[in-house]
Structures are given as structure tokens and as C-alpha cells.
Amino acid sequence: MTVIIANWKMNKGFAGSLDLATDLHNRINKKPVNCEVVLCPSFPYLSAVSKIISESLVKLGAQDCGFKGSGAYTGDVSASMLKDSGCDYVILGHSERRSFHGETSFIIREKAEAAHLQDLITIICVGETSLEKDKGQALAVIEDQLNNSLPLSMSEENIIIAYEPVWAIGTGKKPTINEIAEMHTHIKDCVKDFIKLHGILFEKDVRIVYGGSVNPDNCKEILSIANVSGLLVGGASLVSEDFYNILIKA
């Protein structure tokens, strides 16, 4: 099933997060959608949002997790804490974590392994910068990120790959249909090579979602592209009507 993930990033306070979750919950309950829906609010509001959506088919996700189970890791939030807060998903390796917090692919792999121990579904993000794109390095950059971010604990049930070209996030820019198709096919092939190399058994293809300036006007076209299994939505997920319009088109 198509999966649509809302990444609220560092937006909405307590009241705003609850209002947004409540409005989406009510809209979906009144007129159900034909896709899997995941809301990813900020850490402090996970439990509160979980209570709102607990009676619906909407799932809860976090925007990151620590790479250790517990201990002296000030500021980190462990995967088990996310599970206790009602999470089923966690976003890992978003470009903003890679660039602003210096997270390497090796750290992301450790986080994914920790998340899988708690039965969380990991959404592992990959994407190239405008400079890498202009130098013709996009395919190689994505392959390197995948080879070093993917954990050996991965399965067809516990992992989603999110392709987000860094240069398209929040800019209004979007790759062409052919560029998205090429990259998603490339990711699919890279994952196949990785699981074959490490002897991991997959009966189904890995789910690959697209993110980067997704909105109600372009979502349907993007979802029609081969090997696009869903969407990771940023800014448009902060407006209930916009996000719901994406859901009903999925």
C-alpha cells in the first residue's frame, strides 16, 4: 500500500500539534483514505499525538532516534522510548540531520539497527546536493549513502527508503519525472545488490518514497512514476487541508 509520511520537523507547538493531529484524524475518520498515513511530530508531542490517533488507522513516527539503548547520552532519545510513546516508525538520516548535525551514514546504520531491535520501521533518507548533482555525482552519492546506511537487520517489513534531493527540499524545485524515475530505479537496483551481497532475503521490492517540495498539485503525478511507493511530505503536511488533499489523491 502507498505510504504518505508527514514530517513536521521543528514546527508546531503543543497546541498546534494537537490541533493538526485532531483535524487530520477527524477528516480521515469521516472520509477514509486508501493509503498508509504516518505523522512525525517533534519529540515532546509524540505521546499526546499518539493518544489522538490511537483510534484511527493513522500511525505515529519520530524524526530521529539515538543509536544506543540507554546510558549517558545527553539529549538523545532511544528507540525504546519512541516505542513507549506509541511510535511505529522513525525517520533516519534526513539531509538536515546529515548536514546540520554531521551525521554520517555509519551513524545512521547504527541508529537503524537500534530501531529494528524495538520493531520500529525505519525510513532511511538519501539525497544529493545541488553541487553533487551539477557535477554528475548524484547516482554515485546515493549508492554510497545506501551501502553505508543500510543495516544488516533490514527486512522487507522494517525498512523504507526516502529519496529527497537536498536541493529540492523546501525550495519549490522538483526533479523532472524522468529524473525521479531514474533515481528510484537506481535505488531499487542498489538495494537489490546490497541484500544479495549480504545474503538478506527479500520476497518483495523495498518501498521507496519521494520527498522534496511535494504538494497537492504535484503529488498525483509523482505517485504515478514507476518505483515510487509513497511520499515524504514536509511543508504541505503542516496544513491539514493540503495534507489531506495529498492523502485522497494517493
Separation of CA 41 from chain center:
12
Known catalytic residue at 164: yes
Instruction: Provide the pLDDT for residue 18.
Output: 98
Q: Which of 94, 116, 184, 186 is catalytic?
A: 94
Instruction: Provide the pLDDT for residue 169.
Output: 78
Burial 54-90 (b: 16+ CB within 10 A, else e): eeeebbbbbbbbbbeeeeeeeeebbbbbbbebbbebb
Tell me the pLDDT tens digit for each residue of 44-90: 999 999 999 998 889 999 999 999 999 999 999 999 999 999 999 99
The reply to whether the predicted model has a pTM over 0.75 is yes
Assess contact for 238 and 20: CB atoms under 8 A: yes
Task: For the chain, give the longest Cα–Cα distance.
Answer: 49
Asked if residue 170 has pLDDT above 90, the reply is no
Q: Which of 96, 103, 132, 164 is catalytic?
A: 164
Would you put residue 71 in left (φ > 0), alpha (ψ -120 to 50) or beta? left
Tell me the pLDDT tens digit for each residue of 190-244: 999 999 999 998 989 999 999 999 999 999 999 999 999 999 999 999 999 999 9
The pairing of strands 36-40 and 3-7 is parallel
| Fold for the domain defined by 3-249 | TIM Barrel (3.20.20)
Known catalytic residue at 94: yes
Tell me the pLDDT tens digit for each residue of 173-195: 889 999 999 999 999 999 999 99
SS3 of the chain: the string is CCEEEEECCCCCCHHHHHHHHHHHHHHHHHCCCCCEEEEECCHHHHHHHHHHHCCCCCEEEECCCCCCCCCCCCCCCCHHHHHHCCCCEEEECCHHHHHHCCCCHHHHHHHHHHHHHCCCEEEEEECCCHHHHHCCCHHHHHHHHHHHHCCCCCCCCCEEEEECCHHHCCCCCCCCHHHHHHHHHHHHHHHHHHHHHCCCCCCCCCEEEEECCCCCCCHHHHHCCCCCCEEEECHHHHCHHHHHHHHHHC
